[in-house]
Amino acid sequence: MDILFLGTGSAWRLPEYSCGCMICKKMNELDEERTRTSIQITTSRRILIDPGPDLLTHMNRYHMELPDLVLITHEHGDHCLGLDELLVFKRALKRNDWTPIPVYATEITWRIVEERFGYLIGSLVEKRLCQSGVTISVGDTEIIPFKTFHGPTAKGAVGYVIRQMNDDSVHCKSLIYTSDFAEIETVIPQMYGADVLVIQSHWLNEPVENRPFHMSLQTALSFVEKWKPTKEIFLVHISGGDQVLGDPQNNTVKKIQPKEPMKDPMSNAVYSVPLCQEDWDVLVKKISIDYSIPCRMTVPRDGDIFSI
């Protein structure tokens, strides 16, 4: 199973347009960028999760090929607005050589996606409904959606467990993709002991009021503890929304006050909010030790590839 991180940022990309906060400034200085979070998983099938508004950029950067299927986690723009870009794959083929790409989402999510992209159904994409807890089998791959809570504007939100089965049909390589969420509504047995967990670290610290219904690294650790992934934890959907000590931009809408900032459990010192990739690398390594994380935990860069 190959995992390609197409994008690792939140809905507004990082650095954000016109933002002068310390995180955006530092990233601009270092020429760092996180496009909207999206991922490609390759088993015997090429699976694209969340074709967001940066899809064309991702296609160009990573020389992407036609996906065998697409999974949409929820209807927010940063997770589905790139659907139109897939049309170039059809345009490059002879008239009768095209088969619409199966696109999976829940019925509630499809209702919204169809209002915007209904004209693509039947010609570019094939509308496929998925249901929490019901397995989709494609070749050697099983995909199991699970219901998540991401607030009232994404009522059909799901994450996906993806399992690539071995020839014995018992053992597998497995990955949990949570996407945007604040709570898990349906836990499925396949979530325990997966090889890989891809989870939001929208903020480092859980905010006083989690209104956009996202996941902080601070809270994500409780899911790590419950599900016990065995090989890799990847933190994505990085937003730059944490307040940074001394940042004059801390009073902007983007910045959210922490409830009780994360601390080193031994010294009780509050962790510094990371500004750039190197800061994330150092901090996440330290948190992994301080909180006895059972496997490697990292913040991938856009374009990082991992194989399990």
Closest C-alpha to 159, from 127, 196, 210: 196
CB 78, min distance to Zn ion, A = 4
Only segment of 62-70, 123-131, 173-181, 185-193 that touches Zn ion (CB under 5 A) = 173-181
CB 117, min distance to Zn ion, A = 17
112 or 172, CB closer to Zn ion? 112
3-state secondary structure the chain: CEEEEEECECCCCECCCCCCCHHHHHHHHHCCCECECEEEEECCCEEEECCCCCHHHHHHHHCCCCCCEEECCCCCHHHHCCHHHHHHHHHCCCHHHCCCEEEEECHHHHHHHHHHHHHHECCCEEEEECCCCCCEEECCEEEEEEEEECCCCCCCCEEEEEEEECCCCCCEEEEEECCCCCEECCCCHHHCCCCEEEEECCECCCECCCCCCCCEHHHHHHHHHHHCCCCEEEEECECCCECCCCCHHHHCCCCECECCCCECCCCCCECCCCCCHHHHHHHHHHHHHHCCCCCEEECCCCCCEEEC
Cα separation, 173 vs 247, in Å, equals 43
> What character string, x for contact with Zn ion (CB under 5 A) and - otherwise, covers 261-300?
----------------------------------------
CB 218, min distance to Zn ion, A = 18
Number of residues binding to Zn ion, judged by CB under 5 A: 4
86 or 215, CB closer to Zn ion? 215
CB 7, min distance to Zn ion, A = 10
55 or 165, CB closer to Zn ion? 55
CB 82, min distance to Zn ion, A = 13
- Residue 78 contacts Zn ion per CB under 5 A: yes
State the CB neighbour count (10 A cutoff) for residue 246: 7
Q: What are the beta bridge partners of residue 104?
A: 71, 128
11 or 284, CB closer to Zn ion? 11
- Contact in structure between 148 and 185 (CB atoms under 8 Å): yes
> What character string, x for contact with Zn ion (CB under 5 A) and - otherwise, covers 202-241?
----------------------------------------
- Residue 242 contacts Zn ion per CB under 5 A: no
- Residue 76 contacts Zn ion per CB under 5 A: yes
153 or 257, CB closer to Zn ion? 153
Only segment of 68-76, 94-102, 224-232, 259-267 that touches Zn ion (CB under 5 A) = 68-76
Only segment of 73-81, 100-108, 118-126, 289-297 that touches Zn ion (CB under 5 A) = 73-81
For 54-74, give one letter per residue: b (16+ CB within 10 A) or e. Answer: bbebbbeeeebeebbbbbbbb
78 or 206, CB closer to Zn ion? 78
1 or 81, CB closer to Zn ion? 81
> What character string, x for contact with Zn ion (CB under 5 A) and - otherwise, covers 1-20?
----------x---------
CB 17, min distance to Zn ion, A = 17
Only segment of 116-124, 140-148, 175-183, 274-282 that touches Zn ion (CB under 5 A) = 175-183
Can you give the binding site for Zn ion, defined by CB under 5 A? 11, 76, 78, 180
